[in-house]
Chain A
């Protein structure tokens, strides 16, 4: 039986999404972290590097990022519809588990590539 979520909470408090897994583990993903981890082609640079577009309407202020809703994709993934109208990222369960930000999971991950010169 592959590892799958049992329960996905879109608004788990503190601007984060939480997943309870079939093995009992709970992952809590801050929205910003999850949005930065978006696996879609445009976010991962397949369409070339992109400068973050400044809002043409600065007077509106910055809306805090949050998911409007989410849908299951087949049996294997979650698609998140963000309130900034981005929704092309399909987060597979395996990927979500892989990037669980908790300390226990983080120590099992190889060190991420850091910028040259960074400690």
Chain B
């Protein structure tokens, strides 16, 4: 029996993307289809290299085509990160997705999570930038082991690159023990410059490590660019979750989609005896996510290695054979999937005449 390209596409319609809830053919993921006598080859182009179900989709696609009686099925997997359908980002047009990593409360590990997510995304092959918007307490350069300073090329700031990630932070512009003592308008200006005056180039994801709170910086950022979405980091304790819900309320007011909630310092495994201690309680963020109807992206246990590696500028996500590296890899995958979901959902473009 001769198989037509249409037969193959019909078969592939049985393969669904679990996040976007549509089949891979109508999503336009199937490319370069070649149908020979006993040989079929095609490419599946995903919306992110960090796709958590990459292997599963490849296996399913191979299976349904083989079921047509094709002896030799070649599936190539590639990815191209999508910008939002409604793209109106004039300040940084080459940056496809901008994601705020926020918490509400301080000290829950936002910067550590942001740095590790950036590393995890970069390791999948995505082009990633990391912007430290915490002007008062910048910590990204230390977490990322930054030693090079930004320099100015043709009137724009060239950001340092650490572990393949472009980074900008107020820490680069201040002597180590100096402090920034500013009122709001200066913060606003800084955020605008971090966006518009830095040579970010082409990026799939620009992660923004936010300061705690719901103030000047959060508002400036949400007003200056149409953020793709925000990720909320919280510890499981009620106090942190209560404040996190304020951050969620702020982003909802500003129409910024909540991409999901991450539970940090989720529990502690004693390295001596293996006993597990839920220091801040456990599962609070997951429960809050399901109550509020947001995706729960994952949990990261409290661990002395995370602290040691963070302080020495070597994010744990650099090694995904460790439990923590693996956790960040999985969370980055879940986050990338949610970004794709949001980008498929955003409404029609707003036109002003």
Please list the residues of chain A having a beta carbon within 8 angstroms of any beta carbon in chain B. 1-2, 4-11, 22, 69-77, 90, 92-94
B222 engages A7 (CB within 8 Å): no
A74 engages B350 (CB within 8 Å): no
Interface residues on B, range: 10 to 19
Please list the residues of chain B having a beta carbon within 8 angstroms of any beta carbon in chain A. 88, 222-227, 252-256, 345, 347-348, 350-353
Q: Which residues of B contact A71 (CB under 8 A)?
A: 352
| Known contacts A1-B345, A4-B347, A90-B223, A75 near B352 by CB under 8 Å | no
A75 engages B351 (CB within 8 Å): no
| Known contacts A1-B347, A4-B347, A75 near B255 by CB under 8 Å | yes
A7 engages B353 (CB within 8 Å): yes
| Known contacts A74-B222, A75-B222, A76-B254, A10 near B348 by CB under 8 Å | no
Tell me the nearest residue of chain B to A12, going by C-beta. Answer: B353
State the CA gap A103–B132 with chains docked (Å): 48
Tell me the nearest residue of chain B to A7, going by C-beta. Answer: B351
Q: Which residues of A contact B226 (CB under 8 A)?
A: 72, 74-75
B352 engages A8 (CB within 8 Å): yes
A6 engages B348 (CB within 8 Å): yes
| Known contacts A74-B222, A74-B223, A74-B227, A6 near B350 by CB under 8 Å | yes
B303 → chain A, closest Cβ, in Å?
36
State the CA gap A51–B8 with chains docked (Å): 74
Q: Which residues of A contact B347 (CB under 8 A)?
A: 1, 4, 6, 22
B222 engages A8 (CB within 8 Å): no
With beta carbons under 8 angstroms apart, the residue of A7, A69, A94 that contacts B350 is A7
- A–B pairs, 10, beta carbons within 8 Å: A1-B347, A4-B347, A5-B350, A7-B351, A7-B353, A9-B353, A69-B352, A75-B226, A75-B227, A75-B255
B352 engages A10 (CB within 8 Å): yes
State the CA gap A73–B220 with chains docked (Å): 10
With beta carbons under 8 angstroms apart, the residue of A10, A11, A74 that contacts B255 is A74
The listed residue with most A CB atoms (<10 A of its CB), out of B224, B252, B350, is B350
Tell me the nearest residue of chain B to A22, going by C-beta. Answer: B347
A73 engages B352 (CB within 8 Å): no
With beta carbons under 8 angstroms apart, the residue of B256, B345, B348, B353 that contacts A74 is B256
Q: Which residues of B contact A94 (CB under 8 A)?
A: 253
With beta carbons under 8 angstroms apart, the residue of B227, B256, B345, B350 that contacts A72 is B350
Tell me the nearest residue of chain B to A79, going by C-beta. Answer: B223
Q: A8-B351, A70-B352 provided; 20 other pairs, C-beta below 8 A?
A: A1-B345, A2-B252, A7-B350, A8-B353, A9-B353, A10-B352, A22-B347, A69-B352, A71-B352, A72-B226, A72-B350, A74-B222, A74-B223, A74-B224, A75-B222, A75-B255, A76-B222, A77-B223, A93-B255, A94-B253
